[in-house]
Amino acid sequence: MMKIAIAANKKGKVLKEKVKAFLAERHYEMMDQSSSDIFEATMNIVEAIKNKTADKGIVIDEYGVAPFMISTKNHGIICAPVYDDYTSKMTRMHNATQIITLGSAISAEPFACQLALNFAESEYDGGRHQVRIDMLNKMV
Amino acid sequence: MKIAVGCDHIVTDIKDKTVKYLNGKGHDVIDCGTYDFVRTHYPIFGRKVGVMVAKGEVDIGICICGTGVGINIAAEKVKGVRCALVRDVQTAVYAKEELNANVIGVGGRVVGEGTIEYIVDAFIAAKYNPTAENQALIKKIDGLIGENDTIENDAIFDEFQKKWDEGFYND
């Protein structure tokens, strides 16, 4: 069973509960590592990916911007802010994304749940895309 | 305003239109490439924009690729860069006001020209609104990357480009 670590701060809490329940109903094992502090919430998910206790991660706050910045500064972490159908499917396939961010101010519940599911169901294509991932991982 | 703009080969035409738009508004634009549609690698151009921002050679950066994800990750992996990948004006303004973002990104296959123009205009016009809380968060974000040679080392990607040229990365 795929394990998905999820975390939110106060502004993402309501949406996080909906996304968590939606994915759990679809047989994903959900690990909630929320914190009132977005830095701590995001670093919890980064650690879960780094130490492989989770296969994928989702962080939710108001706009998804801060958790993108925090995640991406870490070595080996590929994080994508997701707010549209295309990115929700493509980013795992092309960028080997481990973590997505969602924003409660910009994506309403049914749509955000679908975005999260699209990410959960997608897998990395590898091949030519790996050269770019190797480059990113050299930067930090 | 002095602005560095970068893209990958998927959206060169959209980047060119954005550069033209900004020039038309009187901004001083540095086009970091890519300049054609030949397959290349988004980290090269995201890093170029990020480095110019980190060194203070420009006021802000703009990064565009297909979804915007890859090139904006590259910019964000430069120490001192705070990058926001957005599809709407509200998020762009939030990123500047709350996080003092210095790079704004869009997906050229996600948002249209009109939205891109609105987003860059709003991002340029927005002002950082410092609070004790957001200053502490920004300090923590900036502190995540220690000292490295990513800004100075222009040959940082050469080993991977060489492997690419030798056909190591196959679909």
Domain of A46: which CATH number? 3.40.1400.10
Chain A positions touching B102 (Cβ under 8 A) are none
Tokens representing B19 are 């550069």
Q: Which residues of A touch B76 (CB under 8 A)?
A: 68-69, 72-73
Interchain pair B157, A86: CB under 8 A: no
Optimal mutation site among B38, B63, B83, B85, interface A, most CBs of chain A within 10 A = B85
- Inter-chain contact A69–B76, Cβ cutoff 8 Å? yes
Q: Is B17 exposed, middle or buried (0-12, 13-18, 19+ CB in 10 A)?
A: middle
Q: How many domains is chain A built from? A: 1
Q: Do A73 and B148 touch (CB under 8 A)?
A: no
Average of per-residue pLDDT values in chain A:
97
Nearest-CA neighbor of A65 among B124, B64, B60, B98?
B98
CA of A100, closest CA in chain B: separation in Å? 10
| Average pLDDT for chain B | 97
The domains of chain B are located at 2-146
**Confidence bin at B8 (pLDDT 50/70/90):** very high
pLDDT at B171: 82
> Which neighbouring-strand residues pair with A32?
A6
- For the question of an ipTM over 0.90, the answer is yes
Mean pLDDT for B80-100 is 98
B2-146 maps to which CATH number?
A: 3.40.1400.10
Chain A environment of B158 (Cβ under 8 Å): none
CA distances to A118, A126, B30 from A91, in Å: 10, 12, 28
Percent of chain B at pLDDT above 90?
A: 98
Q: How confident is the model at residue B170 (pLDDT cuts 50, 70, 90)?
A: confident
- What range does the domain containing A61 cover? 3-139
Q: Which percentage of chain B shows pLDDT scores above 70?
A: 100
**pTM of the predicted structure, to 2 decimals:** 0.97
Q: What's the first-to-final CA gap in chain B, in angstroms?
A: 42
- B100 vs B102: CA distance, rounded Å: 6
Nearest chain B Cα to A125, which residue?
Answer: B171
Contact A138 B74 (CB under 8 A): no
Contacts of B156 in chain A (CB under 8 A): 135, 138-139
